[in-house]
Structure 1
Amino acid sequence: MSTAQIPPGWKGGFAQSNPAFAYPTPDLSSLPMLDNMDNIDLLQRQQGVKWPEFSWQTIPGNEASRCFQMFSPYISRLGYTGKGRVYSIICPQQGACSPTFGCMNVEVTVTGQRGWVDETTKTFYADMTVEGTIWFSPSAHQKEWVKKAWEIFNKFGLKFPTSKANAIKVKTHKFQDPSQPIFPVSQGETARFKSPPFARHEDEAWNVGHIDVEIGGIEQTDNDIVNKFNAIVMDAFNVASGNMLKQGNTLTWNVWFTPPTLVDREEWRTHAERWRKSIDEDHGSPTGPGTKPRYFDGKPFVASDAFDVEMKSVMKGEVQTLEKTEANKIESFLKEHFKDEL
């Protein structure tokens, strides 16, 4: 691990302020879950996640299908006070492209957090609640079926997921506990599986932690037609991303930190919007690109490969292609609900 010098101003003490906070079984229930943006003015220090290494099973239940992908450097960050109380956690944004729908954005939105950091011992612990949000990026708007559906939705005053405000929201919960929306962000790499050498950074990183979060269902709107359409979009997103946000799947990330630095509070406030704008502009990343998803042996993940294994469908004796299957779904949806508009 890195032994780089940390900036002055570290006081510490918050991690030791309650014996219940300590490992091996930290309990932060005495702390309120705080909104992620409510206490930016209290932030003094931060640890950036230069190497956000994500992993998930592209075919749920099949460990051999596990993929590894590093998202863009510094897309996540841990913010805290000089005493070590965590007040904000920046989480990732990413994109995935479907052959029928075009490109979509996914943001892991932090809805609540609490935690502590101890720079002296290079340890930390936090609780989080998050939801996944999915919406179309501008490049997707020109796809034939997206453009048509968007036009029809607008005509009837229905919410179409072309912005974060109208995004499809996916619930999450603690690993193997659907009743618990709060899940831990813990010290060390996940013990659930072994990561390949290309997804580990112990010689360069200052510290490492991990998150295991299980994916729940889509949050329902008050309109049945919108709910059905959102389900189709989520199916397409999961085909394109290798079931990253498929209900029942577990998304894990090992977060490899750089040494502590001081916080620029205004930069912190505008971080999410700056990333969102960058991603909307054809999925660029302000701090550079991540990696393509790969299996443990380094072989690149190809969405159609997982589709062929998991989602084969037969029509008139012929195996459907990924693109044709997606097109059929949206075409059938529009004919069922908006026949007179086609």
Structure 2
Amino acid sequence: MSTQIPPGWKGGFAQSNPAFAYPTPDLSSLPMLDNMDNIDLLQRQQGVKWPEFSWQTILGKEDSRCFQMFSPYISRLGYTDEGRVYSIICPQQGACSPVFGCMNVEVTVTGQRGWVDEDTKTFYADMTVEGTIWFSPSAHQKEWVQKLWKVFNEEKLDFPTSKEKAIKVTTHKFQDSSQPIFPVSQGETPRFQSPPFARHEAEAWNVGHIDVEIGPIRKTGHKVVDDFNKLVMDAFNTASGNMLKQGNTLTWNVWFSQPELVDTEEWRTHAERWRKSIQADHGSPTGPGTDARYFDGTPFKPLDALDSDMKGVLKEETHDLEEVEINKIKGFLNKHFEDKI
């Protein structure tokens, strides 16, 4: 790997307050800034060439842990020549359910602050994020999505067909539900060992990690919409191995490429380009990631993550996952719209 970095690095921000330093960085003297408010101040960046995600597909069972690399450069750290972080691009992904079709899944950064020191290849940041899930245009063609959307329109209820009407999933610091701010720290996560296929020590410029615990779905204040959002999230978690299931911890080791200069206009439009690419079913514009795998490399299958009761239903009544999802939708419609179907 080339170690040539672009000129202009000054540094100094990491050393501007002794409280910022490891082993226990404290950034509380800095405001949490909106992720898009200071794009014009960005001068340098480190791209996450290898965003390696991991989670337990069955909560509490470490041997159920999966590893999956999302698309290269799906995330980035943006900062000034002095090393102050002003923006962090986080992942967008597509996920598909047999009945609901493909959904956009975005980790939306709602606040950030931090520092980078290129001289020592270290960094630290704080973040707040929210999971955001909505149907992609291709999902609009699915029979059950059209039926549900029609009913919701008739009742003048929001349906998650855009980011503005998306399902919101809260997050918080690992093992602290009272703290929405969580750290992005130097090094790989110390909570578990990653397999060789999920490590890039020989190629990466640097590595950091994030451990974020998944909270409840954000309530809308409308019982019907809240019940439907839970139905969609259950389908997503079945397909993804409980990635965003409440109480689970989503970890990603972010393996960075070397520093580069920032094109602020490209940065500003990055999220929209990704969203359009995913929504048009073109996949990820920077190339595909990997399929979810267990530590030994065995591919993950959605059936693996079902609880024993659900597995019993599938076995005893010979249902497949699609039929189970359809039955849940019918139950939802009968509960809330029996007089309209």
TM-score computed with the length of structure 2 as normaliser: 0.97
What CA distance in whole angstroms lies between the structure 2 residues aligned with 1:98 and 1:317? 23
1:236 aligns with 235
User: CA RMSD, aligned part only?
Assistant: 1.4
1:257 aligns with 256
1:7·1:260 contact (CA, 8 Å) conserved in 2?
yes
2:46 aligns with 47
Q: CA deviation at 1:320?
A: 3.6
Q: CA deviation at 1:146?
A: 1.0
1:323 aligns with 322
More displaced 10-residue stretch of structure 1: 321-330 or 304-313: 304-313
User: Which amino acid is 1:95 matched to?
Assistant: G
2:122 aligns with 123
User: Which amino acid is 2:197 matched to?
Assistant: F
What CA distance in whole angstroms lies between the structure 1 residues aligned with 2:274 and 2:316? 46
User: Which amino acid is 1:242 matched to?
Assistant: G
More displaced 10-residue stretch of structure 1: 282-291 or 261-270: 282-291
More displaced 10-residue stretch of structure 1: 202-211 or 94-103: 94-103
2:314·2:320 contact (CA, 8 Å) conserved in 1?
no
Secondary structure of 2:306's aligned partner: helix
Q: CA deviation at 1:319?
A: 5.1
What CA distance in whole angstroms lies between the structure 1 residues aligned with 2:199 and 2:246? 27
What CA distance in whole angstroms lies between the structure 1 residues aligned with 2:316 and 2:290? 38
What CA distance in whole angstroms lies between the structure 1 residues aligned with 2:199 and 2:122? 18
2:178 aligns with 179
Secondary structure of 2:298's aligned partner: coil
Secondary structure of 1:269's aligned partner: helix
Secondary structure of 1:46's aligned partner: strand
User: Which amino acid is 1:165 matched to?
Assistant: E
Are 2:149 and 1:150 equivalent residues in the alignment? yes
Q: CA deviation at 1:86?
A: 0.2
User: Which amino acid is 1:284 matched to?
Assistant: G
More displaced 10-residue stretch of structure 1: 184-193 or 328-337: 328-337
Are 2:214 and 1:215 equivalent residues in the alignment? yes
What CA distance in whole angstroms lies between the structure 2 residues aligned with 1:315 and 1:49? 40
Secondary structure of 1:159's aligned partner: coil
What CA distance in whole angstroms lies between the structure 2 residues aligned with 1:229 and 1:196? 37
2:305 aligns with 306
2:246 aligns with 247
Cα deviation 1:191-226 (Å, max 9, x = unaligned):
101101110001100000000000000000021100
Secondary structure of 1:230's aligned partner: helix
2:212·2:249 contact (CA, 8 Å) conserved in 1?
yes
1:335 aligns with 334
Q: 1:75 to 1:236 in 2, by over 3 A?
A: same
1:307·1:322 contact (CA, 8 Å) conserved in 2?
no
Between the aligned residues of both structures, percent identity stands at 80
More displaced 10-residue stretch of structure 1: 78-87 or 318-327: 318-327
Q: CA deviation at 1:314?
A: 3.1
Q: CA deviation at 1:119?
A: 0.2
Secondary structure of 1:314's aligned partner: helix
2:131·2:169 contact (CA, 8 Å) conserved in 1?
yes
Q: CA deviation at 1:315?
A: 8.6
Q: 1:56 to 1:317 in 2, by over 3 A?
A: closer
2:169·2:216 contact (CA, 8 Å) conserved in 1?
yes
Are 2:265 and 1:266 equivalent residues in the alignment? yes
Q: Please, which runs of 5 or more residues in structure 1 have no aligned partner?
A: none
1:135 aligns with 134
Are 2:11 and 1:22 equivalent residues in the alignment? no
What CA distance in whole angstroms lies between the structure 2 residues aligned with 1:106 and 1:280? 11
TM-score computed with the length of structure 1 as normaliser: 0.97
User: Which amino acid is 1:93 matched to?
Assistant: Q
Q: CA deviation at 1:129?
A: 0.1
Q: 1:17 to 1:25 in 2, by over 3 A?
A: same
More displaced 10-residue stretch of structure 1: 260-269 or 154-163: 154-163
2:5·2:259 contact (CA, 8 Å) conserved in 1?
yes
What CA distance in whole angstroms lies between the structure 1 residues aligned with 2:339 and 2:7? 68
Q: 1:15 to 1:316 in 2, by over 3 A?
A: closer
What CA distance in whole angstroms lies between the structure 2 residues aligned with 1:283 and 1:25? 43
Q: Please, which runs of 5 or more residues in structure 2 have no aligned partner?
A: none
What CA distance in whole angstroms lies between the structure 2 residues aligned with 1:269 and 1:99? 34
Q: 1:309 to 1:278 in 2, by over 3 A?
A: farther
What CA distance in whole angstroms lies between the structure 2 residues aligned with 1:315 and 1:301? 18
Q: 1:283 to 1:67 in 2, by over 3 A?
A: farther
Cα deviation 1:242-264 (Å, max 9, x = unaligned):
00000000000000000000000
1:62 aligns with 61
User: Which amino acid is 2:138 matched to?
Assistant: S
Q: CA deviation at 1:336?
A: 1.7
Aligned length: 341
What CA distance in whole angstroms lies between the structure 2 residues aligned with 1:150 and 1:91? 29
User: Which amino acid is 2:227 matched to?
Assistant: K
Q: 1:215 to 1:77 in 2, by over 3 A?
A: same
What CA distance in whole angstroms lies between the structure 2 residues aligned with 1:206 and 1:316? 49
1:208·1:255 contact (CA, 8 Å) conserved in 2?
yes
What CA distance in whole angstroms lies between the structure 2 residues aligned with 1:144 and 1:153? 14
What CA distance in whole angstroms lies between the structure 2 residues aligned with 1:75 and 1:252? 15
What CA distance in whole angstroms lies between the structure 1 residues aligned with 2:60 and 2:304? 16
